[in-house]
Chains A and B, each alone.
Chain A
Amino acid sequence: MEKRESLWEAYLRRGLSRRSFLKGCVALTSLMGFSTDMFSKVVEAAENKPLPVVIWIHGHECTGCDESFIRSGAPLASDVVLSSIALEYDHLLSAACGAPFEAHLDETIAKYNGQYILCVEGAIATKDSGVYCMSGGHTFTHLLKKAAAGAAAIIAYGSCSAYGGIQAAKPNPTGSAGIERFVGGKSVVKVPGCPPIPEVMTGVVMHVALFGTIPPVDGDGRPKQFYGNRIHDTCYRRPFFDAGMFAETFDDAGAKAGWCLYKLGCRGPETYNSCGNLRWWQGMSYPIQSGAPCIGCSNSNFWDEDPFTSRLPQYGKIGDADKIGTALGVLTAAGVVGHAVASVVQRNSRENLIDEDHHE
């Protein structure tokens, strides 16, 4: 691909109509979370911007993010991969393999230095020089550093590449961590989630592709249009929370009636994601809708905040902080009473001594 074509040129080459191109742009505009005022800018970018080169690498992870990505409904993942971006290298989706495949990566990095988008899935393994995650005969940290050096933008897909992921759970034997430390100080757009919502994944890469800039992000580097609200604040079960109507167990009347799952440990009040408004599989459902409390899979440390089915950590048979606190409170109160009695005894014995001194 010597001269990189734009989205419009890609449509022309395939003989698609102007009408379907504009329809595609409308879909893109809403997908990226823009208002319709931005439509003309999207069209302009789609007409002129050459399709961006994307390098998509996978580290310490399960590739579940890709499973999510390929199920994107609007736009279809196939449209993104085949017509909206120039996906030059992808561990999972590429048909090629072996030495020529790795050589192609080096070529791409050299040829499009400073222009390509780097998408990263999966954490880095930092312990023991990174040997716990190898790719193409090198450590993944090596690959990441190499690819990040010439990247125009870096997108971290999934909780693994954003924060370390499940394998970073205590005791974290591989030293798993988010990619941020190994990209040479470049800013990283984080798209956390385990996995992220498909439409969020395609939406973010399309934003970078069309505008050449990263979308507006919050303090943690997450795109605001998708991670600006708590699931709790967008949850259709929120009225039950406010009313104090809770499912107490997974099989009680409240659970059947679809009441709030807060007492079953729902992490909605701490989790920033679009599950409540975009939902999954083209708006079909999301965990809370199907009766499962949110586990906060897009949070930075969710894997260590167990149990997922309770609001407070449990300490074996002793119970949670409230039980321990009550016990400590009772103990303190008992100690106080005991101390008071002992103090009085001490004072009386002292006074008796003084009295005896006086009598003698």
Chain B
Amino acid sequence: MAIKSVKEVNRKEYYIFSPFLRIFHWIMASQIVILFATGLLITKPMNVAITEPVFSITSMDLVRDIHFTSAFILCASLILRVYGFIINKGDRLFPRVWEGHFYEETVDVALHYMLLKPHHASFLRNPLARGSYAALYVLLAIEILTGFAMYFMTNPSSTGGMLFGWVNVLVGSEMMSHYIHHYVAWFIILFAIGHLYMVIRAEFMEGESEVSSMFSGKKILAHTPKDANELD
């Protein structure tokens, strides 16, 4: 008995993301939201405007503590990312800038996203996405370095101060670390908006399992992606 809305399609299952990467991804996504919200509140705090600190709930202190806790959780979760990176090839989809075809393919994908071409070749992860994720890790690294540089310098002679204090010297001053930390946070949010849109678009318009693979770890595709060989 054939059901009308069921059709037979030949699909292949590609296992890409280890559970470690997936857990890391969702921890990162949630912590970025928390970090961004609390970060804005730290730069421009709400004024509780009560008359006696005795009755205060130390709101600023609380917001900062949430920010710091969240930052530590994000940094700790990087361990998962690194472990997945070591054990699973699918966690290592680099932008292959050392291979010539990377650039042609980037242009090809970009032309499609500019709506100048009707479609682009299918990838497990397209070169433009690879580049943007690499850039995100750079932004993240800047946030971590400047963040700890500010955090640990409460006691410059502590171990943390020794490990991260040089960042303030490198960028010129500690205030500059604040500025950089704040500006880069905005770039991460702009990335997040674009990222959210692009994965949903890929999922629903191009049948690429971009969203579902970050839950299941697998892509079940009717076509063969061009970079499938990178999983072996």
The chain A residues found within 8 Å of chain B, CB to CB, are 218-220, 224, 228, 230, 233, 239-246, 248, 254, 257, 262-263, 267, 270, 272, 296, 299-302, 305, 311-313, 321-322, 324-325, 328-329, 332-333, 336, 339-340, 342-344, 346-347, 350
Contact = CB atoms under 8 A, between A and B. Distances in A.
A219 B118 contact: no
B132 interface: no
A336 B173 contact: no
Interface in B45-67: 45-51, 53, 56-61, 63
Given A218-B157, A302-B175, A243 B53 contact: yes
A305 B173 contact: yes
B201 A270 contact: no
A220 B169 contact: yes
Given A322-B40, A329-B189, A239 B169 contact: no
22 contacts: A218-B156, A228-B155, A243-B58, A244-B60, A246-B47, A254-B49, A263-B44, A270-B175, A300-B172, A300-B173, A301-B172, A301-B176, A302-B173, A305-B173, A312-B43, A313-B179, A321-B182, A325-B186, A325-B189, A328-B190, A339-B115, A346-B115
Nearest to B40: A322
B100 interface: no
Given A270-B175, A340-B201, 7 more contacts: A224-B157, A240-B53, A245-B47, A300-B173, A301-B172, A325-B186, A329-B186
A332 B190 contact: yes
A177 B176 CA distance: 18
Nearest to A230: B154
Given A243-B48, A296-B175, A300-B172, A347 B205 contact: yes
A299 B178 CA distance: 14
A172 B107 CA distance: 43
The dominant DSSP class at the A interface is helix
B23 interface: no
Contact of B156 (A219, A240, A246, A350): A219
Contacts of A272: 156
Given A230-B153, A243-B53, A219 B169 contact: yes
A232 to B, nearest CB: 9
B1 interface: no
Contacts of B165: 219
B159 to A, nearest CB: 13
Contacts of B190: 325, 328-329, 332
Query: What are the 3 A-B residue pairs with the smallest beta carbon separation, nearest first?
Result: A243-B56, A325-B186, A244-B59
Given A243-B59, A248-B47, A340 B156 contact: no
Contacts of A305: 173, 175-176, 179
B46 A244 contact: yes
Given A301-B176, A321-B186, A333-B193, A311 B44 contact: yes
